[in-house]
Chain A
């Protein structure tokens, strides 16, 4: 039971390297990357009423988005895009 689990965990830990290789291999015309505002619209009112960017300042969003990245188990890249959007809109 523990052996396959451990192997899985190790494989995941090695993922960033594998992903880097993938990137090099992607064709020249990748699909349009999903934007921060779209990701915000997709995720941020799934579990609770939407929290508006202007409700908090940039530093607060940095903390809350880390909290949400963990709580909603969001992909790191998506969390970063959403944070960028929130901080831009928060404005200060």
Chain B
């Protein structure tokens, strides 16, 4: 608007001058007229100067505007390119599926138990409060890390076993293993691995066991060990039969008293060899399990397994510790189960020669729902019976008969009760009777 008025002004001035000049040209120019004219010309010059300046400013503004337009269009092109690149990249790399992202695949499961019990000569008491979480980290379809803990409360005791006031919490690592499925037939497990010596330690969570304590003979075997295992299964035919196999190396037992140079029977430490300590025997133990699983129809199956382990246990490397386990499990319908293990171990000692602690356990159970009656409470009950024995090869022998029940509040909330009769003799004989109640929850 401003430019236009200036141009008009200048043009008007020019015309006026044009009209004046011829008019004065034809006659003699008076000094007054000349002065007026020159005044007008100089004013016009000023106006033109101003006009030029304004024009230059306008040019500048136009340039800036053009630049801005250029930048905007570049932005637009960039955005277009980015959108295109994003579209392309999506076709190459799939957006992560939530089920496959590592950070989202951390789960805590496990079980908890409370036990109340009494054995001969003792007062009935709450004997156990156990919290056993399992941490599962899955990286993808083939890689899993699993770590299981047992957190229990214990009464304090002095080093010599006598009473001390207070209590303490024990946290123990039951297992911590990395599982890597190399292919369909081989899986590598490494870390603090559960040992496939029989099946008990791999199937032992509180809500799985139908009886609140372990078979005595399991005391002669380590439950886990630091090492590595290769395992797998081969399906046989189309009926669900399979052969399973596992081979492993693990530190194996050691002598708990390495300073005296001897390996006496009392020194055997089945579970203690978990780190790098000088003087301990150098070679790890080797072991494995081979099993055959035969289902002949749904809920009817038989599993037979044989497993073993052997290796040095003494620091002076002169003695071996070995174990052989036969295991079996039978299901006849959804209600009846029988299972058991026969365990034999051998180890050489400096003081007592060769020893062979051994024993067996057999357990049967029947779910009363199999009677197909319409009894509400009865239908949630399972009756359990177990016979087990143990010979420590140092003079103590025990026969134990256990009867009990499991009441299922749900599939993972169990209330168990057991009564045990023991016939035990020898230096480490056990009391003749004991009962316990246990509440177990698997979560």
Q: List the interface of chain A (C-beta within 8 A of B).
A: 1, 5, 8-9, 12-13, 15-16, 19, 30-34, 38-39, 41-42, 45-52, 58-60, 62-64, 66-67, 69-71, 73-78
Separation of A50 and B230 alpha carbons in the complex (Å): 27
**A75 in complex: contacting residue of B146, B242, B331, CB < 8 Å:** B242
* Known contacts A42-B295, A62-B141, A48 near B442 by CB under 8 Å: yes
Separation of A42 and B185 alpha carbons in the complex (Å): 20
**B233 in complex: contacting residue of A8, A67, A75, CB < 8 Å:** A75
Count of chain B residues with Cβ under 8 Å from any Cβ of A?
53
**7 nearest A-B residue pairs (beta carbon):** A76-B184, A49-B411, A73-B244, A31-B238, A63-B138, A48-B208, A75-B233
Q: Check B334 for interface membership: any CB of A closer than 8 A.
A: yes
Closest to A74 in B: B233
Q: Are A51 and B240 in contact (CB under 8 A)?
A: no
Q: Are B99 and A34 in contact (CB under 8 A)?
A: no
Q: Are A67 and B411 in contact (CB under 8 A)?
A: no
Q: Are B238 and A67 in contact (CB under 8 A)?
A: no
Interface residues of chain B: helix, strand, loop or mixed (majority): strand
* Known contacts A16-B184, A49-B412, A76-B181, A67 near B136 by CB under 8 Å: yes
Separation of A48 and B45 alpha carbons in the complex (Å): 106
Other A-B contacts than A13-B182, A47-B208, 14 sampled, CB-CB below 8 A, are: A13-B183, A13-B186, A39-B240, A46-B303, A48-B205, A48-B442, A49-B207, A50-B411, A51-B411, A58-B99, A63-B144, A64-B109, A66-B179, A73-B231
Interface residues of chain A: helix, strand, loop or mixed (majority): helix
A-B contact pairs, 27 of them (CB 8 A): A5-B247, A13-B185, A15-B234, A31-B238, A33-B238, A34-B240, A38-B240, A41-B298, A42-B295, A42-B301, A49-B411, A51-B411, A52-B411, A59-B98, A59-B104, A62-B105, A62-B141, A66-B142, A67-B146, A69-B181, A69-B187, A70-B179, A70-B187, A70-B189, A73-B231, A75-B235, A76-B184
Separation of A31 and B239 alpha carbons in the complex (Å): 9
**B99 in complex: contacting residue of A5, A59, A75, CB < 8 Å:** A59
Q: Check B223 for interface membership: any CB of A closer than 8 A.
A: no
Closest to A70 in B: B179
**B298 in complex: contacting residue of A38, A48, A50, CB < 8 Å:** A38
Q: Check B299 for interface membership: any CB of A closer than 8 A.
A: yes
Q: Are B185 and A66 in contact (CB under 8 A)?
A: no
- When distances are taken between beta carbons in the complex, the residues of chain B under 8 Å from A46 are 301, 303, 329, 331
Separation of A5 and B248 alpha carbons in the complex (Å): 11
Closest to B247 in A: A5
In chain B between 288 and 315, which residues have their CB closer than 8 angstroms to a CB of chain A? Answer: 295, 298-299, 301, 303
Closest to B244 in A: A73
Q: Check B107 for interface membership: any CB of A closer than 8 A.
A: yes
| Shortest distance from the beta carbon of A24 to any chain B beta carbon, whole Å | 17
Separation of A27 and B422 alpha carbons in the complex (Å): 59
Separation of A38 and B235 alpha carbons in the complex (Å): 15
- When distances are taken between beta carbons in the complex, the residues of chain A under 8 Å from B50 are none
Separation of A1 and B286 alpha carbons in the complex (Å): 10
Q: Check B232 for interface membership: any CB of A closer than 8 A.
A: yes
Q: Are A63 and B238 in contact (CB under 8 A)?
A: no
Q: Are A49 and B136 in contact (CB under 8 A)?
A: no
Closest to B184 in A: A76
Closest to A5 in B: B247
